[in-house]
Chains A and B, each alone.
Chain A
Amino acid sequence: MASRETTVFGTINQTIVVLKIIKHYQEEGQGSEVVQGVLLGLVVDDRLEITNCFPFPQHTEDDADFDEVQYQMEMMRSLRHVNIDHLHVGWYQSTYYGSFVSRALLDSQFSYQHAIEESVVLIYDPIKTAQGSLSLKAYRLTPKLMEICKEKDFTPEGLKKANIGFEQMFEEVPIVIKNSHLINVLMWELEDKSTVADKHELLNLSSSNHLEKSLQLLMDRVDDMSQDIVKYNTYSRNLSKQQQQKHQYLQRRQQENAQRQSRGEPPLPEEDISKLFKPPQPPPRMDTLLIAGQINNYCQNVKEFTSQNLGKLFMAEALQGHN
């Protein structure tokens, strides 16, 4: 197992998985709503082959007694009956403009990875996909983050000690999508038949809508970040103030003891300083880290998007000039 951790995981998706995920989102997810499901597959050498999946049912408030675990077991058993891989190898989730780095994702991925070493989370971006390029990414928590999560130490000191930045939280796993040969043949055939109009999305020049949304989300995160920083700021100021007080107190005590010694009296007993000065509650830093990760993610998205668009714009300009 240990050797496998260090090797880079490659994931291989079957087309059926991708299509199922897309179908799931089309059917159930709208707007910013998120759909989730379970990935099934098996580990082959240093690759993880995801061969099938099934969605989590959308459960509403009124059936609270719905047992998810029960449902999963049931589902897997049924799949096994029809001779499909039934090993749990992770889960998938849709995302809205690339906003998926959240506490919930971290927690559930941690528990997955904790239980099943090789599990991954597939993030499917329906909006990007709708624009013409399939966006599917697989992530795993880095071993560092796993450790921190295990210890549940999210204090500034803990994170500092772990020396973790937002860049090192998730590692992306390369994905290869494989089709059976028959499907490949079918695809070729379909491509021949399809008209040019179907591909227009790729050349869509309108960009402001997408950018605006991204910016909006980015802004929200930045706001959160600012708030967190302010909180941290007050915390560290309080801490340093207290440190000073503690220092002063100790000095005074020392002086007094010295005086007493010179007078021949016994020194004052050492008191528990930590009782006198309760350190302020440190703000949990994990959220900040996550926000930073999310911001990073947004930035990547925007960068990617704009670079593509710039290319398109130049192309369009060149075309115009040509005409």
Chain B
Amino acid sequence: MSRFFARSDSESEESSSDDEITDKAPGATFKQSLLLSDDEEDTKRVVRSAKDKRFEELTNLIKTIRNAMKIRDMSKCLEEFEQLCRAFLKSKNIVDKEGIPPFYIRLLADLEDYLNQLWEDKEGKKKMNKNNAKALSTLRQKIRKYNRDFESEIAAYKENPQESADEEEEEKEPEDSGSSSDSEGEVSSKSFLKKKPEAPSEATDRSQTAKESEDKSSSSDEDDDDDDDDGDWSPSDSDSRSETSDKEEENALKRKRLVTFLKVKRSQDTEKPGVRKEERKKKPKQKEQIEEEAEEEGGWEKVNRGVPLVKEKPKMFAKGTEINTAVVVKKLNEILQARGKKGTDRAAQIELFHALAAIAAENNLGQGILVKIKFNIIASLYDYNPNLAAFMKPDMWKKCLDCIDELLDILFEHNNIFIGENIAEDSENLAVSDQPFRVRGCILTLVERMDEEFTKIMQNTDPHSQEYVDNLKDEGRVCGIVDRLLTYMENKGSTEEICRVYLRRIMHTYYKFDYKAHRRSLGLQGETKSEQDQEENKEENKEENKEENKEESEGEDSAVIMDRLCKFIYAKDRTDRIRTCAILCHIYHHALHSRWYQARDLMLMSHLQDNIQHADPPVQILYNRTMVQLGICAFRQGMIKDAHNALLDIQSSGRAKELLGQGLLMRNMQERNAEQEKIEKRRQVPFHMHINLELLECVYLVSAMLLEIPYMAAHEFDARRRMISKQFHHQLRVGERQPLLGPPESMREHVVAASKAMKMGDWRTCHSFIINEKMNSKVWDLFPEIQRVREMLVRKIQEESLRTYLFTYSSVYDSISMATLSEMFELEMPTVHSIISKMIINEELMASLDQPTQTVMMHRTEPTSLQNMALKLAEKLGNLVENNERVSDLKQGIYGGYFNRDQKGGYQQKQSYQRDGKSYQQKQSGYQRGGYRNQNQGNY
């Protein structure tokens, strides 16, 4: 502090004399300095980095503050200070990079001192007007708080005010020079940092030269310094003076910059050439470079400025350079270094790699280097899109496929190339051809990435456009590549790698229906079934693709392939995820080909249902898909209950679309922000793998109908009747709410209409609603074995209608002949017999069979509705009395008296009310949601 004061004291006289001079001729100096700094101004205007802009803003604000300080305008000071703080916050990015600018610290320190001084000055304070006094106290508090954050810097500044003052100039100057010569702030700042140690010694020396060369500048230079200290000692300066000194300051700064810039250059030339070589490399203007460096230079220039490549191409290697592996590798590394940097032209980089590959090939540098370059080309192709969401452009994609194909070609041709992720960079062997090549890189990762890109492309293409079909045709190539990789890996790769590539293969196989195998199994080879013609476009595409890509496994069924691949994974895989995926795909494939028992056994044996909720979303989606396919498969096989249970979880949520990854549901934004939406979008399954949602819903509703309608009929009067399927009931209610019932239009309406018919036991109408032209085209035709499914459906409808009929109308009959029933429902006698017997055994129907006359004798033990009601009432009254007793118990002060009343059994004989409560519960448990597994396991 003392030192600071001493200095400012000594200078005070000098500057005051300066004041007079500047007062006399402010205009002249201004003009002069303008002239001097003209050329620099120009360059400054052209390129100004963000840092410059911000700092200028700051300095301007600081200037105003200083002015306000001088005239003791506290309110203005406060205002400006607040602005300054804001501006500083705004430039935080730059400050973080550059460090806090010293001039800023200087202002803070000065301002605080100044304020303290004013505060001490009681007299002066009294004289101040109210506003100013108020502003002063606020500002004082504010700055105190604010300065706490910069304590160390301020302390440093106070320790050595001069140095920090110099530092400021120092900082400004290289940055300016940088901006004038090239726009790379980073580089210049680096060079500045390197120079820093020299700064103090230079400072004195520089100020001398500056004084010698220009009187004016030196005087204003001092002036500049003084201004900073002004606050300490000359608060009563006049307005005009501060204005002029402002201008002076600016001019002086400019001039100084010029001087120091020259100076630095000069000193660079003379001092330590070794160190500065690095720096010079980064300043492309300096052209005296050696040949090797020229390459680097070229690389840098191309990348930085984005100069058209064609021109630069010859520059890749200087003429006459002997092109060998080392040189190419070096070049490769150079290109690689630019990767990921801002401003790097990625397309150009890819071109560069290609050119390099061509050169390498030209000069016969061996396969090792070629492989290496190929790896990099593919990697940079993937890098082309900066964010994950965007997908590859078609030409990029083609290029990528070609590249991978070529790479695989090379790998197949040359057995002596080892590739692997864990080969270290320096242990690579690219040149020596008599030893096996060793190249760092992982073909598997590349192919996996390619597969993902393919998925991404499919996700981002409109599924109803021709483009989608075109893109889908590429799947053949993708599969081909995966297959080739598979054969390659089988020879060379480790088990884990084989597992990974197998999974890829499985992922491309599991959802495709193997028509050939299907036809073979039906013995219809070569004969095109009409149903197949009706298959959707995408299905045909699928098949086409498969035929393309499975040329080598022509004879093999996809089932066999799946079996082989999956079993390998089950045996060898160590990571849980791959195995889970493989199992799910395997189940899916089984289910798709109607191998219900295999699929179900695999699902139950894997115990996936227990812990699937812990898996990651994509696996869960796969699980959901598998469950749905399993349910549909069960339906085709006529296992209605299994179908219903498998589909229940997906359908009951009402979010089937989302759960299957086939589209996003419209939801309000608060539930999901943009970020989440992006993630969810990435999880979507491409269109060609979709499961038809209408089919899914229809299968679910029809199976629910087949279960629910007889159940409803059986338990019409049961108070505790439970719904088997909420969704189905919802559909029924919606149907009932219709004011006007026209002929059914949608699939749902059809099912509802059919349900109504079935309720009346009218199976013919039900049948005509479920199976007709409309429903065929909407739903049933999507099944591969349509005829069988239809037959099954008809039969089920007949059976369940019979059951419903018996439940509903049994009270009307005393006896009914089975022959009549069989005629009514067009079922064979034995079937009718078995259905009725089953109902009797299950105590659903109170009846007995009279063998000689083939009739069903009703026993009439079913209570009438009135009786049912009375029973219910009795039960309720029992409850009421019980509750009442509790109240009276309480009144008599027997606490807990009702806890042991159960033994007394006063009103607890509810069993007598519940006619067959037990059997209900047993039956109901089977319909509970979790019951699916338990039941099935019980069956084994």
Contacts and interface: CB of A to CB of B under 8 A. Distances in A.
Contact of B880 (A212, A215, A226, A232): A226
Contact of A208 (B866, B873, B884): B866
Nearest to B891: A236
Contact of A219 (B865, B873, B884): B873
Contact of B884 (A212, A215, A229): A229
Contacts of A233: 883, 886-887, 890
Contacts of B866: 208, 211-212, 215
A222 B880 contact: yes
A223 B876 contact: yes
A72 to B, nearest CB: 38
A292 to B, nearest CB: 11
Interface string B873-886: 10011011001101
B876 A216 contact: no
A215 B883 contact: no
Contacts of B865: 208, 212
A116 B215 CA distance: 116
B880 A240 contact: no
Contact of A218 (B873, B887, B890): B873
A212 B869 CA distance: 7
Contacts of B879: 226
B681 interface: no
On chain A, which size bracket covers the interface? 10 to 19
B890 A225 contact: no
B652 interface: no
Contacts of B886: 233
A230 interface: yes
A225 B880 contact: yes
A319 to B, nearest CB: 24
Of residues A218, A222, A240, which shows the largest number of chain B Cβ atoms within 10 Å of its Cβ? A222
A237 interface: yes
A303 to B, nearest CB: 14
A229 B880 contact: yes
B907 to A, nearest CB: 13
For chain B, what secondary structure do more than half of its interface residues adopt (helix, strand, loop), or is it mixed?
A: helix
A232 B883 CA distance: 10
B609 interface: no
B862 to A, nearest CB: 14
Given A212-B869, A237-B890, A230 B883 contact: yes
B872 interface: yes
B864 interface: yes
Contacts of A226: 876, 879-880, 883
Nearest to B869: A215
Nearest to B898: A233
A229 B890 CA distance: 12
Contacts of A215: 866, 869-870, 873
A218 B869 CA distance: 10
B857 to A, nearest CB: 24
Interface in A205-252: 208, 211-212, 215-216, 218-219, 222-223, 225-226, 229-230, 232-233, 236-237, 240
B873 A236 contact: no
A212 B867 CA distance: 9
Most buried by A among B865, B880, B895: B880
Interface string B437-451: 000000000000000
A240 B876 CA distance: 27
A215 B876 CA distance: 12
B208 to A, nearest CB: 89
A208, A211, A226, A232: residue with the most chain B Cβ atoms closer than 10 Å: A226
Given A212-B866, A216-B869, A222 B876 contact: yes
Contacts of A229: 880, 883-884, 887
A233 B890 CA distance: 8
Contacts of B887: 229, 232-233, 236
A236 B864 CA distance: 41
A237 B895 CA distance: 9
B448 to A, nearest CB: 63
Interface in B878-913: 879-880, 883-884, 886-887, 890-891, 893, 895
Nearest to A223: B876
B interface residue count range (under 10 / 10 to 19 / 20 to 34 / 35 or more): 10 to 19
A237 B883 CA distance: 13
A222 B883 CA distance: 12
A232 B873 CA distance: 22
Contacts of A208: 864-866
Contacts of B864: 208
Nearest to B890: A236
Interface string B835-874: 0000000000000000000000000000011100110110
Nearest to B889: A233
B652 to A, nearest CB: 29
Nearest to B864: A208
Nearest to B893: A240
Contacts of B873: 215, 218-219, 222
Contacts of A218: 873
A218 B872 CA distance: 11
Contacts of A222: 873, 876-877, 880
A230 B869 CA distance: 23
Interface string B25-43: 0000000000000000000
Interface string B688-705: 000000000000000000
A66 to B, nearest CB: 29
Contacts of A211: 866
Contacts of A237: 890
Nearest to A244: B895
A215 B743 CA distance: 39
A252 B588 CA distance: 74
A245 to B, nearest CB: 14
A222 B890 CA distance: 21
A237 B880 CA distance: 17
Contacts of B870: 215
Nearest to A211: B866
A240 B883 contact: no
B26 to A, nearest CB: 83
A229 B887 CA distance: 8
A163 to B, nearest CB: 16
A223 B876 CA distance: 7
Contacts of B883: 226, 229-230, 233
A219 B876 contact: yes
A216 B890 CA distance: 31
A216 B891 CA distance: 32
A219 B872 contact: yes
Contacts of A223: 876
Nearest to B867: A208
Interface in B493-510: none
Interface string A178-192: 000000000000000
A216 B869 CA distance: 7
A225 to B, nearest CB: 6
B486 to A, nearest CB: 69
B548 to A, nearest CB: 69
B899 to A, nearest CB: 13
B459 to A, nearest CB: 52
A78 B416 CA distance: 117
The 7 closest A-B pairs by CB, nearest first: A229-B883, A215-B869, A208-B866, A222-B876, A226-B880, A236-B890, A219-B873
Given A223-B876, A237-B890, 15 more contacts: A208-B866, A211-B866, A212-B865, A212-B869, A215-B870, A219-B872, A219-B873, A226-B880, A229-B887, A230-B883, A233-B883, A236-B887, A236-B890, A236-B891, A240-B890
Interface of B: 864-866, 869-870, 872-873, 876-877, 879-880, 883-884, 886-887, 890-891, 893, 895
Interface of A: 208, 211-212, 215-216, 218-219, 222-223, 225-226, 229-230, 232-233, 236-237, 240
14 contacts: A208-B865, A208-B866, A211-B866, A212-B866, A215-B869, A218-B873, A219-B869, A222-B880, A226-B876, A229-B880, A233-B886, A233-B890, A237-B890, A240-B895
